[in-house]
Amino acid sequence: MKYAFPDNFLWGSASSALQTEGAREGETTWDYWFAREPNRFHNGVGPQQTSTFYQHWKTDIQLLKQLNHNSFRTSISWARLIPDGIGEVNPDAVDFYNQVIDELNEQGITPFITLFHFDMPMAMQEIGGWENRDVVDAYARYAQICFELFGDRVLHWFTFNEPIVPVEGGYLYDFHYPNVVDFRRAATVAYHTVLAHAKAVQAYRAGHYAGEIGIVLNLTPSYPRSQNPADVKAAHVADLMFNRSFLDPVLRGEYPADLVALLKSYDQLPACKPEDGFLIAEGKIDLLGINYYQPRRVKCRDSAVNPQAPFMPEWFFDNYEMPGRKMNPHRGWEIYEPGIYDILINLRDNYGNPRCFISENGMGVENEQHFIENGQINDQYRIEFISEHLAWLHKGISEGCNCLGYHMWTFIDNWSWCNAYKNRYGFIQLDVETQQRTIKKSGEWFAATALNNSFDKE
């Protein structure tokens, strides 16, 4: 069967500043944490060992072109642009981002720019990070500076990438700095992130720029083990906490009432100001980026909660391992292609069918050099992964979902937080030592698919 996509469908990939640029000036939480606890990072490899986009941006954009990208998302590093988060703008950073943006536009590759992709300037973390409302204001100023500097040539902005991840990693499950386990503080961080998002949207609207502004959320559909009411309720709570805590404010301009009631009943609500509600209502977006990697399967708890234990989302559900689930063993994530369709249908039916696109989807694989044939990684597994997801995406579009494109994580294999270079995701293989780039089979497949705006599959 031929899967053809609508005209002007967005074909591209995503990356982020910290994971690719290198040669950084301003310190981030990642630099600080790595200097103190290198053991937390796979093979002790830290954020300095990147794919050197800062040096290779021009030739890398040529490679994007070779992959037939018509769009590409990366982020601006807040710490590079404003090293202390709130003070002077670094002119070298302005030059660098100007060059990248201009070159992308010149090559016919529309730049999609994220303002925050997990990289908090250390100076901002020192004053409390997202727990401190002064950081919300500093972020709003940073966003405004970016709009003023680049808003004439960047027409697609994203306030945050996966804002729930720093909440989970930094304040619940101990895989990002500052390694806190405290639900109330996590809720405060999440709440202040929504306020920061809304302030950036407000500033963008006030500036009457020509483009649009959105956010990128990792949506993880919550599937209950069964239709038993207790399992269904468990899945509902997981959905409220991990998806709707951001999805509802940015699309509906308010929090789900049952999420607020639940947190209130456990005394976990962050401190709110009366004017916050108006601000959140103004944070409604033009374009939603959806990162989809895996589903979440849950069941009701079958043991009682220890009331002395820290309050956690898992007070309301247990994770469920569905027998026979298809796994990516390298990352330990389930592969469930229909999830992409379920997300789109949920948006169509419950959120007014917003303009959206898949902003990340991908498969991280360890030791990919084992798949080298005639000097090239033959990643047939990745081609299958993409085409199966695209087939479900196609079905969603044919049923009226407003999905405008598909971006893959990622372009060139890159450094990935605590996993460093363990799992490779790129269309292009990176030799970290020599910095040599070699296109994988999946890169060629994607280039052909983008060029034809379609692909064939049984």
Catalytic residue annotation: 360
SS3 category, 448: helix
- Determine the Cα–Cα distance for residues 281 and 207; give it in Å rounded to an integer: 18
* H or E stretch at 441: helix 441-452
CB-nearer residue toward ligand BG6: 105 or 419: 419
CB of 410 vs ligand BG6, minimal distance in Å: 7
> Which region among 54-62, 262-270, 277-285, 415-423 touches ligand BG6 (by CB under 6 A)?
415-423
> Which region among 83-91, 102-110, 246-254, 414-422 touches ligand BG6 (by CB under 6 A)?
414-422
Site membership for ligand BG6, residue 176 (CB under 6 A): no
CB of 198 vs ligand BG6, minimal distance in Å: 21
Q: Residue 222 phi/psi, 5° resolution?
A: -100, 115
CB of 291 vs ligand BG6, minimal distance in Å: 6
CB-nearer residue toward ligand BG6: 98 or 367: 367
| Whole-number CA gyration radius for the chain | 21
Selection from 9, 62, 16, 6 nearest residue 415 by Cα? 16
SS3 category, 186: helix
DSSP 8-state secondary structure symbol assigned to residue 427: S
The only residue of 71, 222, 416, 449 in contact with ligand BG6, by rule CB under 6 A: 416
> Which region among 73-81, 188-196, 350-358, 413-421 touches ligand BG6 (by CB under 6 A)?
413-421
Site membership for ligand BG6, residue 51 (CB under 6 A): no
DSSP 8-state secondary structure symbol assigned to residue 28: B
Residues 6+ apart with CB under 8 A from 168: 175, 186, 242
Size of the site for ligand BG6 (CB under 6 A): 14
SS3 category, 409: strand
Scanning residues 314 to 353, which ones bind ligand BG6 (CB under 6 A)?
331
Residue nearest to ligand BG6 (CB): 416
Interaction pattern, residues 209-238, with ligand BG6; x per rule: CB under 6 A: ---------x--------------------
Token pair for residue 158? Answer: 């994203």
Q: Residue 266 phi/psi, 5° resolution?
A: -105, 10
Q: How many CB atoms lie within 10 A of CB 207?
A: 12
CB-nearer residue toward ligand BG6: 291 or 442: 291
Q: Are 227 and 370 in contact (CB under 8 A)?
A: no
Scanning residues 350 to 379, which ones bind ligand BG6 (CB under 6 A)?
360, 364
Helix axes 164-171, 183-206, angle to 10 degrees: 150
Scanning residues 74 to 133, which ones bind ligand BG6 (CB under 6 A)?
none
Scanning residues 417 to 446, which ones bind ligand BG6 (CB under 6 A)?
417, 419, 423
- Determine the Cα–Cα distance for residues 237 and 139; give it in Å rounded to an integer: 30
SS3 category, 307: coil
The only residue of 161, 222, 387, 449 in contact with ligand BG6, by rule CB under 6 A: 161
- The DSSP-derived string for 79-127 is HHHSTTSSS---HHHHHHHHHHHHHHHHTT-EEEEES-SS--BHHHHHT
Greatest alpha-carbon span in the chain: 64
Q: Are 20 and 53 in contact (CB under 8 A)?
A: yes
Interaction pattern, residues 7-46, with ligand BG6; x per rule: CB under 6 A: ---------x--x---------------------------
> Which region among 5-13, 136-144, 222-230, 411-419 touches ligand BG6 (by CB under 6 A)?
411-419
CB-nearer residue toward ligand BG6: 19 or 68: 19
Q: Residue 126 phi/psi, 5° resolution?
A: -65, -25
CB of 158 vs ligand BG6, minimal distance in Å: 11
CB-nearer residue toward ligand BG6: 28 or 144: 28
Scanning residues 267 to 296, which ones bind ligand BG6 (CB under 6 A)?
291
Chain residues binding ligand BG6 by CB under 6 A are 16, 19, 161-162, 218, 291, 331, 360, 364, 409, 416-417, 419, 423
